[in-house]
């Protein structure tokens, strides 16, 4: 090659840095995506080429622009934030309180904000997603943590605390660096999954990992009005694949640890060198995230917008025909929608003060307006 330098990673086989750096000592052109402190590796042939994330976000923008009413658009943005929030908690099998839910929604509204990526920023994010003061941290963890499965077996050992500082310095540089990895899909996947593999905090890592997907996407391809693509809502529908991606990293790296079980915590005999965490193949993570973004844009957003449209049509019609409290109308619409267009016998008992003829008519309205609105949206 020109100048006698050879590429560190063959460009025909791997995703490589856009601005490689020559290393005269070894006559190597360093085109790695990261540094020796944190360097994900992505095979080129496994990265989806079409539609690109840019194209998908253009599609999402066009879908959202069908909402010509500014008030409806704002409601749609709030609804997408709520969907992402509830799904992110549900992935961890948690039902958030209204306070925890609102805290995460506020965090999503910060996605894409111009920031200095450092420990202070991440600590602030962690303190936002974790409600209890005793779980809020002042720095990266200084003790070893681990994850267990339902049987109590250790399923993942993150890197030991003595290696954490170097890893996080590399991760922070990867997220901040503009000259190496500028592909938004690769950057979002590597940053988000790399973060959860490092597990820099004792609590809140999973939710922050999914927030980071939104942050990288919003920074590179923002949608109008702070709208987001509800990636977690799609992940929630494909948990086995999501867990398979995580396990593909966690299982082999955890097998490198030697430990015995103690009464409270494992007693570590030997941990692997930090390179087990500093260098990882993120090919599957990139492909998985692309699939989730594509499904969120092409299926989830149209479905959620159609739900809002159907709700509004049904609400107006019911409100026109009957003088009912708004909360009752809203509750009935949701009940009928969640029960495939029917009011169950138990639900009818809850509204026993209403004649069956009224409930039957409300059921008919929801079927005719709400479901037809969703159907017409899905056909387009």
Q: Is 204 annotated as a binding residue?
A: yes
290 tagged catalytic = no
**181 close to 161: Cβ distance less than 8 angstroms:** no
Q: Is 261 annotated as a binding residue?
A: no
Alpha helices in 20-160 (DSSP H): 53-64, 70-91, 98-108, 119-129
**246 close to 199: Cβ distance less than 8 angstroms:** no
**332 close to 318: Cβ distance less than 8 angstroms:** yes
Q: Is 205 annotated as a binding residue?
A: yes
Q: Residue 17 burial by CB count (10 A; 0-12/13-18/19+): exposed, middle or buried? A: buried
Tell me the three-class secondary structure of 67-107, residue by residue.
Answer: CCCHHHHHHHHHHHHHHHHHHHHHHCCCCCCHHHHHHHHHH
Q: Is 310 annotated as a binding residue?
A: no
Minimal CA–CA distance to 206: which of 218, 217, 195?
195
Give the 3-state secondary structure of residue 281.
strand
Q: Is 210 annotated as a binding residue?
A: yes
Within a 10 A sphere around the Cβ of 375, how many other Cβ atoms?
11
Q: Is 152 annotated as a binding residue?
A: no
**44 close to 12: Cβ distance less than 8 angstroms:** yes
Task: Write down the catalytic residue from 199, 215, 290, 353.
Answer: 199
How many CA atoms lie less than 13 Å away from 182 in the CB half-sphere? 8
Q: Is 206 annotated as a binding residue?
A: yes
**27 close to 16: Cβ distance less than 8 angstroms:** no
Minimal CA–CA distance to 155: which of 143, 164, 146?
146
Q: Which residues pair with 29 in a beta bridge?
A: 7, 22
What separation, in Å, do the N-terminal and C-terminal C-alpha atoms of the chain show?
51
One DSSP character per residue, 277-291 reads HHEEE-HHHHHHHHH
Q: Is 348 annotated as a binding residue?
A: no
Dist CA 293 CA 80 (whole Å): 14
Residues annotated within a binding site for ATP: 203-210
Residues annotated within a binding site: 203-210
Query: Which residues are known catalytic residues?
Result: 199
């Amino acid at each position: 090659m020109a100048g006698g330098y050879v590429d560190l990673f063959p460009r025909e086989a791997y995703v490589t840095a856009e601005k490689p750096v020559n290393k005269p000592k070894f006559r190597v052109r360093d085109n790695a995506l990261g540094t020796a402190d944190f360097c994900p590796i992505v095979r080129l042939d496994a990265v989806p080429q079409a539609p690109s994330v840019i194209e998908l976000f253009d599609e999402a923008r066009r879908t959202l622009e069908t909402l010509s009413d500014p008030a409806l658009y704002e409601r749609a943005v709030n609804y997408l934030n709520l969907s992402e929030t509830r799904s992110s908690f549900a992935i961890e099998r948690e039902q958030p309180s209204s306070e925890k839910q609102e805290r995460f929604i506020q965090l999503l509204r910060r996605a894409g904000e111009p920031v200095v990526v450092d420990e202070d920023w991440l600590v602030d994010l962690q303190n936002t997603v974790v409600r209890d003061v005793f779980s809020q941290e002042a720095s990266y963890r200084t003790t070893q943590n681990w994850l267990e499965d339902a049987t109590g077996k250790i399923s993942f050992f993150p890197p030991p605390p003595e290696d954490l500082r170097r890893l996080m310095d590399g991760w922070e540089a990867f997220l901040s660096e503009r000259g190496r990895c500028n592909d938004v899909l690769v950057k979002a996947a590597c940053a988000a999954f790399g973060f959860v593999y490092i597990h820099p905090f004792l609590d809140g890592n999973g939710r922050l990992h999914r927030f980071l997907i939104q942050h990288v996407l919003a920074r590179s391809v923002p949608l109008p009005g702070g709208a987001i693509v509800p990636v977690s809502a799609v992940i929630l529908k494909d948990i086995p694949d999501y867990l398979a991606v995580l396990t593909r990293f966690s299982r082999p790296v955890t097998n490198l640890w030697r430990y015995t079980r103690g009464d409270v915590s494992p007693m570590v005999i030997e941990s692997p060198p930090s390179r087990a965490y500093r260098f990882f193949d993120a090919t599957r993570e990139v492909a998985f995230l692309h699939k989730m973004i594509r499904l969120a844009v092409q299926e989830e957003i149209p479905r959620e917008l159609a739900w809002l449209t159907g709700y509004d049509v049904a609400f107006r019609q019911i409100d026109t025909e009957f003088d009912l409290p708004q909360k009752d109308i809203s509750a009935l619409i949701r009940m009928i929608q969640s029960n495939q267009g029917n009011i169950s016998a138990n639900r009818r008992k809850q509204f026993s003060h209403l004649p069956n003829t009224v409930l039957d008519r409300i059921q008919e309205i929801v079927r005719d307006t709400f479901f037809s609105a969703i159907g017409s949206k899905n056909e387009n």
